[in-house]
Each structure stands twice: as C-alpha cells, then as structure tokens.
Structure 1
Amino acid sequence: MEKIYAFTDESGSFGWDLDNKNTSTHFIITAIIVRESDVDAVRTAVADIRDRYFPNGEIKSSRIKRSYQERRKKIIEETLPIPYKIFSVVVEKKLLEDSRGLRFKQSFYKFMNNIVHKELRAAFKNLVVVADEIGGSDYMQSFCKYVEEHSEFPNLYGESEFSFENSKSEVIVQLADLISGTLSFLYDEHKKDASVPNYQEILKDKIIRIEQYPKTYVNYNLERCAIASEYDKDIAEICLHQAVDFINKYKDDTDELRQAQLIVLKYLLFRFMNNDTRAYIPTSELLNQLEWTKYGKISVQTFRKEMIGGMRDARVIISGSHHKKGYKIPSKKSEIEDFLNHDISIILPMLGRLKKCRDTVKLGTCGAVDLYQADAYKELKAFIEKDMAE
C-alpha cells in the first residue's frame, strides 16, 4: 500500500483573552495530504511558488499582510493544480472556556494532540506525519513529541501504519502554514471582514475535511467521529440521547440543583463527544467543574447522591467504576457492565444484611415481629419476596 504523507502546521496560539484582537479566537491544525508518489512533484511546485512570492525566506501566512487579500488569493489559486489535499481541525476556543483544565497550556496542547492524532489515524492508513520538530512553534514541538510517543507497532508486513518524520526546512510544511493561516480568515473573529475572499470555496476541491471542535450535541455525528469504530453504536446512541434529552428538558430550569447537574452532565458530554482518551473522568475533576461556579464546593457523598444519583433517577445513563475511580457517559456495553458490576457489589451485600436482620428478629420473636410488615417497608418486602420467588 502506498504511503500517505501529512505535512502539518498550525495557525493560532494559546491564550484566553479572546476580546484582545492579538489573541486568536480559533486554533487551526492543517495537514497537507500527499501521496508518496507525488511528494517530489509537490515539493518542486511549492518551492517554485516560494521562490517567486517569498524570495527572501519561507512561505509563511504571517508574511502576507492582512490587507493583501488579493495577493493571498492569487498565491492560493496557484497551488490548485498541485496534487495535494487538505485535512484541517479547527478548534473554537470560546467553546472551551467552561472546561477549566484546558485553560492551562499543557492540558490544552494535550487535548489538541489527542484530537489531531485520532482524526488522522481514523482517516488515513499507512500515514507518515511530517512536521517541524525543532524550529516550529511550541505547539508543533509538543505535537511531534506526542506523535512519537504514540507511534504504532509495525504491521504483519513490517510497515508502520502511523509514523513520524521531522523537517525544519520542508516547503510542504510551509504550505500547511499558509493554508492554516488562510483558513483563519474564515474562522477567527478578529480577522473576518468583507474584504476576505471565500477561501473555502476556492479550496473546495482540495479540502478532504474540516473538522470543527469542540463537538456539541447540536453538531455531533457519532458515525463520523474519530473513534466511531471503538463504540457500540446502539449503546452510544441511547446514552447520548438520554443525556441530551435531560439537558433540553432542564436547560431553563432555575432550580440550583438542576443547574449544577447540568454543569456536570455537559462536562461528561464534552468528554464523550471530543474523544478524550481517559475513559472515566475522575470524581475530583467533576467536582472542580462545580467548585468554580455558584454551586461551590460539595462533598463526594453529596456529589454522588445529588448529582450522579439525581441524574440517574431521571434516566440519564452514567457509568461509574470504583476500580477506575470516575464516571462517564457509556459508549459501549463493557462500560454499562462496569456500572452494573459496581452497583451490584454494593446492593447485594446490603440486601443480604437486611434479610438476615429480618430473619433473626422474626425467629427470635417466634414470628411475632416481622419488620417488613410495616407500611414503610412494603416496597422492600415486595422486592425481596419477588427476588426469592425467582
């Protein structure tokens, strides 16, 4: 199978002062996709464009002044006959503001690396990623390190299905910089204006896909997500549907407890939809989502009873695992079983103790006192007697 090369660079930067015109509102990663047999031809053609339009250095989007949209358009149009394709991930940072942990650079970069790595792996086989490991931005250096640490074992034919090469002077990486920077004029709130050509229309025959993150339950498509093959489709759809129904039902509810439940559930959904590698979200992380809101700091016991328990009572399916110390929206049968196994390990011993208590008192009083005859315990009596009959 012919190798596919992904020459990768980014536009945008880390930072959360989104009202500041010098802070990007979006973070864009672009992979220029080239078949191995076309690499030399693409390299030669891009180098020719570099020599004509950027004679004193590299192709860089930032070297084209914002007001020079016709010049940018002309350069982009000159790349159209070249045999390359575009695969981009566009992250709207404003939609991440409520995810407190991502406001730290290391966590944000890890989130981005996970998304881009999984999207590329899902879209292409026998892929070689090429990026500037040394001279690039701190994000690209982080991405290069991530890819190397998550490289795949060779297949049966001794070929790597997902590998990495670095290059600090690769002109096709420079093309990725140009495309990322060009797309930023379509997304970044500080760059949009009437003078900007419709670059997405100009590049439509080059674009394989532009994935926008974070996913929301409004735009989320389970079948197109990067790890759809790892889901049990029916389980994932049912659990997603129940969570979204709860949010839609109570989104305007002013009850403080409901609003706190929504905060927790939206975070669980955020992790579900955005392909986080951590299957279970630690209880402490979920508590942190509440601590910086008006709901404030609560105990683990209260969290389990009022947040998780309350949502489960409303038919939201949330898996919990004592062993894995966290919660998640289930996406496969094994995660539902985690939930069942966790609760059964608690419920059955408790029911056993209640039965022993009742039997001991009933025997000791020669049947005069049967604890379950009281009206308060009718449901418990019916449940136990049904269980014994079965």
Structure 2
Amino acid sequence: MIILMWSELLMSEIQFAFVDEFGNYGFDFEKDDVSTHFIIVAILVKESNKEILEGKVENIRQKFFQAGEMKSSKIKNNHKRRSLILNELNGLPFHIFAYVIDKRKISENAGIRYKRTFFKFLNRLLYDDLFRTFEQLNLEADEYGNKEFMEGFKRYVNQKSIPDLFNNSSFGFNNSKSSILVQLADLLAGTIAKGFDKKQLTDEFQIFNKILEKHIIRLEYWPKDYKNFLVNPQKNENNRPFDEVILKQAVNLALQYIDKTGNIKDIEEKDRIDFLKFLLFKVYQNHNEYIYAHEILDNLNAIRNYKINEHYFRSNIVSKLRDKGLLIASSNKGYKLPTCIEDLYDFVNLTSLNIHPMIQRITKCRDQILLATNNEIDILDKEEYEDIKKIVDLSKGLG
C-alpha cells in the first residue's frame, strides 16, 4: 500500500493519491488462489478535500464495517452491499486512476513471467506512466504493508527520484499517511476486479461501473492490443465486415502515438496523450457512446494545475491529432474513436456543415467581384488558391 502526493505548479495546494492493488503473481490459472489479472488503483484527492474525504469515508466504514477495516474481501459477493457502499461514496471529492494487467495474455515463453522480472516490469510501467502524467508526485508506503509489488515499487521510485534540500523528492516517498483512504483504494481495486478477473467476474459490475464512472479519470489496459476493445460478435448483431478494420486502425494509431510521444515533456503533447487515453478508456466501456466536450474537459482538468478551455481543446488537441492522421470521430453528441463506418459518416457530415457554407461564401464573394469588374479580377486566380478554385468550380458544376 502506498500514498502518493502531487504538488501543483501554479498553486500551493497538494494533491494526494492513495494506492493499493488487487491480484498476485502466478500463472497457473487453474489454482483458485491465482488471479487472472493484476490491478493497481490510485485514489486522487486534493489537499483541500482530504480531511473532508477522510471524515466521509470513515463514516461509511463505521456504517458498513463497524470496527473492522473497509476491505473489498470483506464484502465478497454481496453485490447489494457493495452497491450500497459505492452509492455512499459517489459524489465525494476523489478520482480514480487505475491499471488493469491481464496476465493470461503474457506469453508462456516471455521472460516477464519470472517473478522478479514480473514485478520489476510493473514497477517501471507504473512509474513511467505516473511520472509523465504528474509533474510532481510524492509517495509513501504503508509501514505495515508487506505486499511484494508495493515494496518493490517503493525501492524502484527511490532509485529513480532525486531528493531536494529538504530530503523530499518532487516524485518520491514523503511520509504522508491516511489509512482510511488506503482502505478506500483496496475497496475500489477489488470492485474493478469484478469486471475483469475471471474468478471475480459478475454482471453486477455494470452497476458498479455506472456508479463510479464519473470518478474514473484513467483506466489503463495491458498488454496493449486492439482486440481488447472488440465487442463479442454474439452481442453485436449489427457488426459489419469493415467495422473491426476501422476500430483496429483507430485504436492502433492511438496506441502508437502514445508510445511514440509518451516521454516527451511538451505540455501540449501530454494533453493530447491524456485525451487519447480517455478515448481508449471510453471506447472500451461503450463502443457506441460519444463523449461531450465538457465531460472530456472535466476529465483532463481533474489532473492538471492549469485549466484547458474548449477553444484550446479543439484547436491544440483534436485538430492537431487529426492533422497527424489519427482517427477521431465527432458529431453533435461529442467525440469518440471510430468503431464503425457510421462513426466516420458522422465526422464527414459534421465537417461538411462547416465546409459547404464556407465554399458558398467564397463563391458569392468571387462572383460579386467578377460581376463588378467585368470578369477582370478573379480573387481565386492566385497559385496558392488553385485547389480552392477547383472546389468552387466543381460546386458550380464547372469542373
């Protein structure tokens, strides 16, 4: 168990993250005590909300667990009780940052299957992603914790981090403790497992996820594979032959962009990467759902010390990604990664609503000047306007 702390650059307020895990090492999935997934959850909360959140969560613990700790394992498969607890937590000031590793998809011959290598890989995976997401992040291991992954993660971060004059690192362990919020991380890690781990799966997870969805700002999947995002054909009767091709291209382009630019420190690139990760998370949840711009901005701004506005979002994030060839569908319902041909038609239709009026305005302006100058001045005669002139002529049936 670990506690993380993030200092905002432009404000003195600190943001904390309380981390716990679900699952264990092991690949003999026939054994009852070997999980199919390893899940890491970080609970993010700002310093100004920390005391309030601790009090609220403590009240919930007393209500549902009396004198005991608030742990997912104590709820087991009492789904009604879990739903009641999650509903009590819903709306409280925290966010969820989670990683889901499917151990079944790790090749039998892969070196990562060795225990030491497995945990070292997870340490690097978590560290690299958190480090490039948060400018400043301080971590603290629960002194009573004995979980092998967390102990290894602490050592890994200490090796990577450089302390300041006060022996604190901008990204490291700095002695901040809140056992009740670490218990919250345990509860939510176990809850997320209900949607992924084969031995924990339940249809009730859809209810749990619906309650928590506004709190989740990041859900990372590993290994990275577009097939993780495929809908079961038996559940998707409207699936067309090229839909998988479209989804594969959209997801792979997003994953490649993230991998290629992931370690770049440019702020705009970080914004684009976080946007793509959010789209990947949402398309995993629901292939058909568009996300409104305000919902995307809420997600991006939840982990930032500066606020992204809608103009910046459209011009510096969405437009730049499209300029680089990434596939992002949009309609009057918002944005998404395209998963079918209809999504691409939505994008073309929305774009055409802007293109056609612009072409018509240029055409009318040109015609007025041609008329006034007896065809002596054509404002589209310049070489750089050749393509526009062809489009205008085509629109008039002259091409």
Bucket of the pairwise TM-score, normalised by the shorter protein:
0.5 to 0.7
After the TM superposition, which of the residue ranges 212-221 and 110-119 deviates more from structure 2?
A: 212-221
Match among 63, 80, 104 for residue 70 of structure 1: 80
Conserved in 2, the CA contact under 8 Å of 1:87 and 1:208? yes
Query: Structure 1, residues 108-140: CA drift from partner, whole Å, max 9, x if none?
Result: 111111111111112222222344243242222
2:263 is paired with a residue whose SS is helix
Instruction: Tell me by how many angstroms 1:161 deviates.
Output: 2.5
Distance 1:179 1:152 in 2: 31
Match among 45, 64, 67 for residue 56 of structure 1: 67
Query: Structure 1, residues 22-62: CA drift from partner, whole Å, max 9, x if none?
Result: 31110000000111222111111111111221222211111
Conserved in 1, the CA contact under 8 Å of 2:194 and 2:200? yes
Change in 2 beyond 3 A, CA 1:28/1:43: same
Q: 1:180 — aligned with what?
A: 189
Q: Structure 1 residue 22 and structure 2 residue 33: aligned?
A: yes
1:301-340 aligned within 5 A? none
Instruction: Tell me by how many angstroms 1:224 deviates.
Output: 3.3
Instruction: Tell me by how many angstroms 1:184 deviates.
Output: 0.2
Distance 2:15 2:177 in 1: 19
Instruction: Tell me by how many angstroms 1:226 deviates.
Output: 9.2
Distance 2:193 2:218 in 1: 15
Match among 175, 194, 197 for residue 203 of structure 2: 194
Q: Structure 1 residue 138 and structure 2 residue 148: aligned?
A: yes
After the TM superposition, which of the residue ranges 218-227 and 10-19 deviates more from structure 2?
A: 218-227
Match among 263, 277, 281 for residue 229 of structure 1: 263
2:194 is paired with a residue whose SS is helix
Q: Structure 1 residue 31 and structure 2 residue 42: aligned?
A: yes
Distance 2:172 2:265 in 1: 25
Distance 2:168 2:175 in 1: 18
Q: 2:345 — aligned with what?
A: none
TM-score (norm 1): 0.54
1:84-163 aligned within 5 A? 84-154=94-164, 160-163=169-172
Conserved in 2, the CA contact under 8 Å of 1:132 and 1:167? no
Conserved in 2, the CA contact under 8 Å of 1:133 and 1:167? no
Distance 2:146 2:54 in 1: 19
2:60 is paired with a residue whose SS is helix
Change in 2 beyond 3 A, CA 1:99/1:162: farther
Distance 1:45 1:215 in 2: 37
2:44 is paired with a residue whose SS is strand
Distance 2:260 2:194 in 1: 26
Instruction: Tell me by how many angstroms 1:100 deviates.
Output: 2.5
Instruction: Tell me by how many angstroms 1:145 deviates.
Output: 2.0
Query: Structure 1, residues 363-382: CA drift from partner, whole Å, max 9, x if none?
Result: xxxxxxxxxxxxxxxxxxxx
Instruction: Tell me by how many angstroms 1:94 deviates.
Output: 0.9
**Structure 1: runs of 5+ lacking an equivalent:** 234-390
Change in 2 beyond 3 A, CA 1:168/1:75: same
Distance 1:23 1:98 in 2: 16
Compare CA radii of gyration and give the structure with the larger one: 1
Change in 2 beyond 3 A, CA 1:39/1:231: closer
Q: CA RMSD for the aligned pairs? A: 2.8
Distance 2:22 2:261 in 1: 25
Distance 2:176 2:109 in 1: 34
Q: Structure 1 residue 205 and structure 2 residue 214: aligned?
A: yes
Aligned length: 231
Distance 1:225 1:208 in 2: 19
Which letter does structure 1 place at the counterpart of 2:138?
A: V
2:200 is paired with a residue whose SS is coil
Distance 1:227 1:176 in 2: 30
Which letter does structure 2 place at the counterpart of 1:162?
A: F
TM-score (norm 2): 0.53
1:4-15 aligned within 5 A? 4-15=15-26
**Structure 2: runs of 5+ lacking an equivalent:** 1-7, 227-247, 270-399
Instruction: Tell me by how many angstroms 1:213 deviates.
Output: 0.7
Change in 2 beyond 3 A, CA 1:172/1:107: same
Change in 2 beyond 3 A, CA 1:169/1:48: same
Change in 2 beyond 3 A, CA 1:114/1:152: same
Distance 1:215 1:87 in 2: 17
1:59 is paired with a residue whose SS is coil
1:20 is paired with a residue whose SS is coil
**Percentage identity across aligned positions?**
36
Conserved in 2, the CA contact under 8 Å of 1:12 and 1:24? yes
Distance 2:107 2:176 in 1: 34
Q: Structure 1 residue 82 and structure 2 residue 92: aligned?
A: yes
Conserved in 1, the CA contact under 8 Å of 2:168 and 2:174? no
Which letter does structure 1 place at the counterpart of 2:50?
A: V
Change in 2 beyond 3 A, CA 1:196/1:85: closer
Conserved in 1, the CA contact under 8 Å of 2:39 and 2:193? yes
1:222 is paired with a residue whose SS is helix
Distance 2:126 2:28 in 1: 24
Instruction: Tell me by how many angstroms 1:197 deviates.
Output: 4.0
After the TM superposition, which of the residue ranges 184-193 and 95-104 deviates more from structure 2?
A: 95-104
Which letter does structure 2 place at the counterpart of 1:150?
A: K
Match among 57, 66, 70 for residue 46 of structure 1: 57
1:198 is paired with a residue whose SS is helix
